Structure 1
Amino acid sequence: MAKSVLTVGLVALGLVWALAQTAQADDMKRYVVAGSQAAKLESCVEPTELMRRQHMEFIKHQRIATVHEGIRIEKYSLSGCVDCHISYNAEQIPQPINQADQFCGACHAFAAVNLNCFDCHAAVPNGTPLDAAAMAAHDAAGVAAQVQSHRDGENH
């Protein structure tokens, strides 16, 4: 009797574990936002599992090469990540990639990791015009012209 209860308990535990793994895999799949360029690709610049675990190392290495050594390559550039993983709303306005329902924001929220790249870097592709709500918010802060000028003319 005790053996069969233990067996049933272990089987139930195994089923719960399998369901949790499936749910987690489904959660991870949603981080590639439908309609983005990335959704059309089989993998990123490296295999998906490697990118999930090592992307910060690639970005840090790219930062050192760019800032300290003056080497600019596109393979691991943050702007390349944004350009590929960005999604657009119904009006074709890019959604900031660090929002909680977007590529970077969703995965970092899931992993409970602070996302501070976009404190300095653009969360939408360079040259993207600001939507009306963003423009109004920047007008209120008195920086709309500076932000739009930066997006129109500079790579960041």
Structure 2
Amino acid sequence: MARLSSWLRLAALIGAAAVLAAPSFQAAAGADKPKLERGKGEKCVEDTDFMRRNHMDLLKHHRDETMHKGIRTTKHSLKGCVQCHASEKTGSVAATKEDFCAACHSYASVKLDCWDCHATKPMAKKPGKTEPQAEVTASPLMATTQNGGAKQ
């Protein structure tokens, strides 16, 4: 009887290991990359492979140059990315899991937190306004900051 229970435990352990290892084998085999809408411009500001690997560093650098040094350029601005890559269907880069940013970040299992502070849709010009106005989107962070830190 003791011998049977040890075989059952071994079989259960092997089964659990196989279930846990399956996603690793699928990833190694190369899961399908997300299908993305083509951007609105003729070409991106950088090569596609470069952007896949380095866009976050470019955005952080651009943020630091703008916020800390007051240097405003358009080449690697988040605003430019949103204007070019917003979906034709949703008008956003992160409204649905198929939208440009959301699709890649979901595929890579990376948290997409840019939109806690930034607009996910391109800025639209309002009549009588000289500067375009961003559409404000709901975010968990906005709920805490607008109510003095208290969540509703």
TM-score interval (norm. to shorter)? 0.5 to 0.7
Deviations 1:26-71 (A, max 9, x none): x24x22x14x405x53xx2111111100100000000000000001
Among residues 79, 99, 104, which one is paired with 2:101 in the alignment? 104
Structure-to-structure mapping, 1:6-155, within 5 angstroms:
20-21=29-30, 24=32, 27-28=33-34, 30-31=35-36, 33-34=37-38, 36-38=39-41, 40-41=42-43, 44-89=44-89, 94=91, 96-98=92-94, 99-127=96-124, 150-151=133-134
Question: Quick one: which amino acid aligns to residue 65 of structure 1?
Answer: E
Residue number in structure 2 paired with 1:11: none
Distance 2:75 2:111 in 1: 23
RMSD: 2.7
Deviation at 1:88, TM superposition (A): 1.7
More helix by share: 1
Q: TM-score, normalised by structure 1?
A: 0.58
Give the total of aligned pairs: 104
SS in 2 for 1:37: coil
Change over 3 Å in CA distance of 1:76–1:128 after alignment to 2: same
Distance in 2 separating the partners of 1:67 and 1:79: 14
Larger radius of gyration: 2
Q: Percent identity?
A: 41
* Structure 1, unpaired ranges of 5+: 1-15, 130-148
TM-score (norm 2): 0.59
